A = this chain, B = another copy of it.
Amino acid sequence: MTWTFKTKPVIIAASSVGGPFEAKGPLASTFDQFFEKLDGGEKSFEKAQRRLMEDASIHALKKAELTNEEVDVFLAGDLINQMTPTNFAARTLSIPFIGLYNACATSMAGFMTGAALIDGGYAKNVLTAAASHNAAVEKQFRYPTEYGGQKPPISQWTATACGAAILSSSGTGPYIHSATPGRVLDYGVTDPFNMGAAMAPAAADTIIRHVKNPEEYDCIITGDLGKTGKQIFVKLLKDSGMNLSQTSMLDCGELLYGSEPQVFSGGSGAGCSAAVTCGYIYEKMITNEWTRVLIAATGALLSPLSVLQKDSIPCIAHAVELRMDEA
């Protein structure tokens, strides 16, 4: 089912922060802050990821001219075991907290759940955030970066980034028009380096359930399918009979790093779609360059243990439609 929000919950402020590698990317101008060093001056990469979320949240609160006491709920998550960077950020922010985990689809899980809480009258202001840190996440899922493990060209690059947004019952800015929560699909991909291919069917399933006419959108933006996954995704949509000739199809994982060869197929990580949404996409909408976009954040719901136990990779995608009324 697709949720349509009657009261138009507004994104009154948004902020993206990133690491030193993201600072060199094509979207750098849409970030509010970058760590000079990967550790952000913290004693561990996990603590650095906590800082990413705290800093993005504080930037968003400042832009919204709100104190944390004025925010009713904090909806956030990340990829680290038991989401400790998010938990410690929630401790710092001291806002009633509901932790969300849908891997890299967590960003839009936060947007749609927050919009539902505002539309239902349970919150006036919601802070939502999702973050990832390249060294913390790579260490946990693959190898410590210092190890220099080789990767295949289909692999992706975990973003060191956080996107945070303030959703509100009143104010100006792009609003959350509707959302379609995703179902977990699994087409049997077992290669943890090939998450784009694994996630493509889930993205297609959610988009097909949400979109009536793709031509009505300035663009349809997937979370982090990367080059490999996006090709499969677009083919699946076309095979379903969807005419995409008039719709620009973008992917946050491609947008964040452009043609940078080091990232192989593109960016990934819970912070990827969050930071691109709260930076680049938010700017395009607030300036009325885009007035209607669909963001389908994609998540690969695996763990290092599930891979060792020879499980395939279940995936999910949540679609959130943002609109901006003509100024």
Contacts and interface: CB of A to CB of B under 8 A. Distances in A.
A259 interface: no
Interface string A72-101: 110001011111100110110011111111
A327 interface: no
A87 B122 contact: no
Contact of A109 (B94, B98, B303, B305): B98
A109 B99 contact: yes
A47 interface: yes
A145 interface: no
Q: Give how many copies assemble into the complex.
A: 2
Contacts of A316: 90, 97
A241 interface: no
Contacts of A100: 98-101
Interface residues of A, number: 56
Interface in A202-259: none
Given A91-B184, A116-B120, A120-B116, A306 B101 contact: no
B46 A309 contact: yes
Nearest to A92: B184
A43 B116 CA distance: 39
A261 interface: no
Interface string A95-139: 111111111000001000100110111110000000000000000
- Among all A-B residue pairs, the 4 with the closest Cβ atoms: A120-B120, A87-B301, A96-B181, A82-B303
23 contacts: A44-B309, A46-B306, A73-B181, A81-B81, A81-B82, A81-B303, A81-B304, A82-B301, A84-B301, A84-B302, A87-B301, A88-B311, A91-B184, A91-B301, A94-B183, A97-B102, A97-B181, A97-B183, A97-B184, A97-B316, A99-B301, A100-B101, A101-B101
Interface of A: 1, 3, 43-44, 46-47, 72-73, 77, 79-84, 87-88, 90-91, 94-103, 109, 113, 116-117, 119-123, 180-186, 301-306, 309, 311, 314, 316, 318
